[in-house]
């Protein structure tokens, strides 16, 4: 299947007074039409930056230093801002991690939805308003018609997030970049949003890049998963394999830290230490200072993605045993 | 209960005025409208324990959190901290320095123009806990390391951090004044599971060492189970089931709690679709009569549609659980 989106050896850098920080280092991903690619990984690993680069919203001084981003085979990383703006919203919808950057605190929820709908679709005021209500209902806002007049601060955290989701989907884009779309939501509303995203992929062939820390949501929604660590893709593969038989030791540690619902432990398993800062990257594999499997080669040579079991992992000594429990 | 409660909430209620602008109201001949965000909520948290609140998005958890630390003035009811009443709008510095809050939205709660070290040191300065600059800097550096960042990060601004890193900054700030009582509203929602494990382990270590008391809010039920002594399940502003967390996880009784626990995604069966709690979520502006859960409840009958169920105490192997449900009171849920 031809990929709808291809991210090809993308590097993003932040020039600072103390030198250039490389926040994304040769990240390559692709998403087919109708596919959901899950993106997980350490906080600060570069997941949101990857999303921001795709939709052309890197905040300066951040910039794409190398690599290409293609939508249906056409480069979009070098488009002029006006063309990128047209693409955004209409063909690529974005759900940001931070709902407050998307919502204007001075306008009512209804006004923001109606304006977005009318920017992209030729609808009358009344039709646009009816559609706004229908989107609010689809994302599960109770009493939607009554709440068009509310301002963002009058909504709970989870309700604001759902408005952001409605804003991203209301122009019916081909590709949705969803950065933590369900973290502020209870499990039931979360299930409803996931069902909505899945329906869009099935019925409209919408592609989704789903960034989330919630492995349950990944397991339920994603077709393939990319695991990121320190600005690089550490592991990439089909969802069941990444969760049940991860090859990268970081992925294995990540899976082991998930608190279980069916038993209680006094202490959660954790990966000791923390991810290296961008200005203090160790040589070799960036995970080696925290890795129990590290050998001499890991400290000297940086591994690229290579086939390991059923996934691809950037690791010299991939885990072979399947996880249990 | 033998332990003295550090936080005690009695009959708490809170309404928001959600009327349309005056002119529009006048033109349409509408009356003022109120949204009942919290209704008849009572609970106590013993010193050194964790009480968690769970429930649907918009059910009033953050409102209770803000009421508990005196950010809103309650419409009804009382809040006592270590025996003293909390009065919103009054400084009460002796009381306030003993409590702090980790806000649900780490973006909105960090001042974008301040350096991270100033953000974290703010509670120390406001309450005059330390005067010496070097001493404050050392404390801030230590806090940054505890949450998995580095002391050098203190010179940066919030926008230079990822979502989860900002959440850790707000955790460090909340801990900086060494509070006895901490309200944690979704403290780890933006963190990956491995950093989350580090933060939760840190919170438990602090509790064991310093006897901290937590009011904990999270949508992640596995995290809640891991952290909680007591658990309150909320629906539309009310507590529908409250008791020892172990008792409720082992044998949930209220129909809403049961549906909530069934809606958790499973890791062992990738691709499996879940059963969301069905039915329409009622509007909090016009809540249904009787038990507010009745439109979605598989056990609802005529009494449920008319009469508000009052909490009933049931004894379980893990302790007493309060449940507000007619079906449970009548024993219909076990039929
Ligand atoms: N304006 C900036 N200046 C310097 N560094 C930045 C800036 N913005 C982001 N970074 C760095 O880039 C890295 C990647 O950030 P990103 O927001 O993509 O992380 P993430 O994977 O989305 O993490 P999280 O799960 O916590 O949201 C982080 O280490 C962050 O500190
Ligand atoms: N300032 C406000 N003005 C008007 N209504 C408000 C205000 N703050 C909250 N509400 C309403 O009160 C109800 C409860 O909100 P609250 O933020 O307490 O929910 P929550 O349980 O924390 O939800 P979430 O899980 O989504 O964070 C919601 O219906 C919300 O719209
Ligand atoms: S009181 Fe009735 S409607 Fe409410 S939860 Fe119990 S059985 Fe269901
Ligand atoms: Mg992010
Ligand atoms: Mg909230």
| Stated pTM of the model | 0.89
Token pair 């939607």: residue? A144
pLDDT in tens, B58-87: 899 999 999 999 999 999 999 999 999 998
> Three-class SS of residue A161?
helix
Q: What whole-number distance in Å separates Cα of residue A34 and Cα of residue B263?
A: 25
pLDDT in tens, B195-246: 899 889 989 999 998 899 999 999 999 999 999 999 999 999 999 999 999 9
14-73 in chain A: CB under 8 A from chain B: 40-45, 47-48, 59
Report CA B316 to chain centroid distance, whole Å. 25
Q: Which of B167, B222, B273 sits opposite A259 (nearest CB)?
A: B222
Q: What whole-number distance in Å separates Cα of residue A168 and Cα of residue A92?
A: 9
Q: Is A199 on the interface with B (CB under 8 A)?
A: no
* CA A305 to centroid of ligand 1, rounded, Å: 22
Q: Which of B148, B225, B259 sits opposite A264 (nearest CB)?
A: B225
**pLDDT score of A141:** 87
A188 contacts in B (CB within 8 Å)?
56, 259-260, 263, 276-277
Q: What whole-number distance in Å separates Cα of residue A295 and Cα of residue A288?
A: 8
Mean of pLDDT values over A88-93: 90
Closest residue by CA, ligand 2 atom 17: A156
Confidence of residue A325 (pLDDT cuts 50, 70, 90): very low
- Compute CA distances B222 → A174, A190, A259, B195, B219, whole Å: 34, 15, 6, 15, 9
Confidence of residue B328 (pLDDT cuts 50, 70, 90): very high
Q: B264, A216: Cβ pair inside 8 Å?
A: yes
Q: Which one of B25, B27, B31, B57 would you mutate to disrupt binding with A, by most A Cβ within 10 Å of its Cβ? A: B57
Q: What whole-number distance in Å separates Cα of residue B214 and Cα of residue B227?
A: 9
What ligand is nearest to the CA atom of residue B162? Answer: 1
Q: Which of B20, B189, B270 sits opposite A219 (nearest CB)?
A: B270
Q: A142, B152: Cβ pair inside 8 Å?
A: no
Locate the domains of chain B by residue range: 254-263+286-335
**pLDDT score of B119:** 96
B237 contacts in A (CB within 8 Å)?
none
Q: Which of B56, B152, B201 sits opposite A189 (nearest CB)?
A: B56
Mean pLDDT taken over chain B: 90
Strands B312-316, A3-16: pairing is: unpaired
What ligand is nearest to the CA atom of residue B299? Answer: 3
- Compute CA distances A156 → A102, A163, B174, B335, whole Å: 15, 11, 21, 37
More confident residue, B109 or B95: B95
Mean of pLDDT values over A298-312: 95
Closest CA to A323 of B269, B266, B194, B268: B268
Residue A147 beta carbon below 6 angstroms from any ligand 1 atom: no
Token pair 């893990």: residue? B318
**pLDDT score of A323:** 59
pLDDT in tens, A145-184: 888 999 988 888 888 888 999 999 998 899 999 998 887 7
Ligand 3 binding pocket mutation candidate from B238, B325, B328, B331 (most atoms within 8 A of CB): B325
* CA A154 to centroid of ligand 2, rounded, Å: 7
A264 contacts in B (CB within 8 Å)?
225-226, 246
Listing DSSP states for A39-100 in one string gives EEESTTSSHHHHHHHHTT-PPTT-EEEEEEEEETTEE-TT--HHHHHHHHHHTEEEE-S-HH
Most confident by average pLDDT, B86-95, B163-172, B258-267 = B163-172
Confidence of residue A13 (pLDDT cuts 50, 70, 90): very high
- Does the interface predicted TM-score (ipTM) exceed 0.85? no
**pLDDT score of A322:** 63
Residue A156 beta carbon below 6 angstroms from any ligand 2 atom: yes
Confidence of residue A188 (pLDDT cuts 50, 70, 90): confident
Q: Is A258 on the interface with B (CB under 8 A)?
A: yes
* Cβ neighbours of residue A237 closer than 8 Å, sequence gap 6 or more: A224, A225, A247, A310, A311, A312
* CA A247 to centroid of ligand 4, rounded, Å: 24
Residue A272 predicted with pLDDT over 60: yes
pLDDT in tens, A194-218: 888 898 899 889 999 999 998 889 9
A147 contacts in B (CB within 8 Å)?
283
Q: Pick the residue from chain B with its C-alpha nearest to A225.
A: B270
Lowest mean per-residue pLDDT among A267-276, A300-309, B171-180? A267-276
Read off the DSSP letter of residue B152. Answer: G
Q: Which helix (H) or strand (E) holds B327?
A: helix B326-329
Q: Which residue pairs, CB below 8 angstroms and at least 24 apart, start in A119-123?
A: A119/A89, A119/A171, A120/A89, A120/A90, A120/A170, A120/A171, A121/A171
Residue A314 predicted with pLDDT over 60: yes
Q: Residue A149 region, left (φ>0) first, then alpha (ψ -120 to 50), else beta?
A: alpha
Q: Pick the residue from chain A with its C-alpha nearest to B226.
A: A264
Q: Which two tokens stand for residue B176?
A: 């900086």
**pLDDT score of A171:** 87
**pLDDT score of B1:** 45
Q: Which one of A186, A214, A224, A254 would you mutate to disrupt binding with B, by most B Cβ within 10 Å of its Cβ? A: A186
* Cβ neighbours of residue B267 closer than 8 Å, sequence gap 6 or more: A215, A216, A219, A243, A258
**pLDDT score of B30:** 78
């Amino acid at each position: 299947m031809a990929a709808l989106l291809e991210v090809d050896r993308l590097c993003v850098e932040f020039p600072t007074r103390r030198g250039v920080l490389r926040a994304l280092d040769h990240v390559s991903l692709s998403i087919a039409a109708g596919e959901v690619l899950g993106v997980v990984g350490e906080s600060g690993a570069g997941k949101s930056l990857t999303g921001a680069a795709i939709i052309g919203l890197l905040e300066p001084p951040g910039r794409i230093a190398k690599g290409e981003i293609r939508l249906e085979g056409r480069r979009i990383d070098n488009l002029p801002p006006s063309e990128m703006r047209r693409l955004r919203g209409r063909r690529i919808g974005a759900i940001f991690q931070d709902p407050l950057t998307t919502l204007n605190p001075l306008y009512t929820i209804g006004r923001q939805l109606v304006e977005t709908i009318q920017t992209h679709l030729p609808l009358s005021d009344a039709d646009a308003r009816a559609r706004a209500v229908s989107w609010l209902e689809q994302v599960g806002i109770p009493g939607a018609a009554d709440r068009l007049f509310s301002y963002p601060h009058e909504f709970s955290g989870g309700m604001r997030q759902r408005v952001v989701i409605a804003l991203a989907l209301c122009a019916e884009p081909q590709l949705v970049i969803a950065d933590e779309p369900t973290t502020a939501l209870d499990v039931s509303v979360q299930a409803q949003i996931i069902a909505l995203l899945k329906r869009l992929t099935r019925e409209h062939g919408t592609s989704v890049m789903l960034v989330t820390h919630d492995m349950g949501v990944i397991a339920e929604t994603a077709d393939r998963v990319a695991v990121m660590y320190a600005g690089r893709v550490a592991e990439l593969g089909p969802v069941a394999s990444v969760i049940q038989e991860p090859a990268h030791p970081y992925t294995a540690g990540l899976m082991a830290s998930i608190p279980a619902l069916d038993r209680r432990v006094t202490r959660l398993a954790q990966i000791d230490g923390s991810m290296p800062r961008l200005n203090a990257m160790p040589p070799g594999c960036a995970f080696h200072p925290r890795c129990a499997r590290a050998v001499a080669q890991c400290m000297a040579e940086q591994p690229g993605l290579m086939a390991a079991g059923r996934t691809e992992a950037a690791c010299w000594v991939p885990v072979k045993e399947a996880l249990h429990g | 209960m033998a332990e003295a409660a550090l936080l005690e909430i009695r009959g708490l209620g809170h309404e928001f005025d959600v009327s349309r602008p005056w002119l529009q109201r006048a033109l349409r001949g509408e009356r003022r409208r109120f949204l009942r965000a919290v209704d008849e909520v009572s609970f106590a948290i013993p010193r050194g324990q964790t009480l968690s609140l769970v429930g649907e998005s918009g059910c009033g958890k953050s409102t209770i959190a803000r009421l508990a630390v005196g950010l809103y003035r309650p419409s009804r009811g009382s809040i006592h901290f270590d025996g003293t009443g909390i009065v919103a709008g009054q400084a009460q510095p002796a009381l306030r320095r003993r409590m702090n809050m980790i806000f649900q939205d780490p973006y909105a709660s960090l001042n974008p123009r301040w350096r991270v070290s100033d953000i974290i040191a703010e509670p120390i300065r406001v309450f005059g806990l330390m005067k010496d600059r070097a001493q404050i800097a050392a404390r801030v550096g230590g806090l940054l390391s505890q949450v998995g960042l580095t002391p050098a990060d203190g010179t940066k601004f919030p926008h230079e951090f990822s979502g989860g890193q900002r959440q850790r900054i707000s955790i460090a700030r909340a801990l900086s004044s060494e509070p006895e009582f901490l309200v944690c509203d979704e403290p780890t929602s933006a963190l990956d599971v491995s950093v989350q494990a580090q933060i939760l382990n840190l919170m438990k270590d602090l509790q064991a060492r310093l006897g901290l008391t937590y009011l904990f809010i999270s949508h992640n039920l596995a995290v809640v189970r891991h952290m909680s002594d007591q658990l309150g399940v909320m629906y539309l502003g009310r507590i529908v089931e409250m008791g020892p967390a172990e008792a409720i996880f082992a044998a949930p009784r209220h129909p809403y709690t049961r549906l909530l626990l069934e809606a958790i995604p499973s890791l062992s069966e990738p691709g499996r679709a879940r059963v969301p709690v069905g039915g329409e979520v009622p509007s909090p502006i016009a809540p249904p009569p009787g038990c507010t859960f009745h439109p979605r409840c598989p056990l609802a009958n005529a009494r449920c549609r008319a009469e508000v169920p009052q909490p009933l105490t049931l004894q379980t192997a893990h302790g007493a659980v309060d449940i507000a449900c007619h079906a449970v009171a009548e024993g219909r849920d076990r039929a």
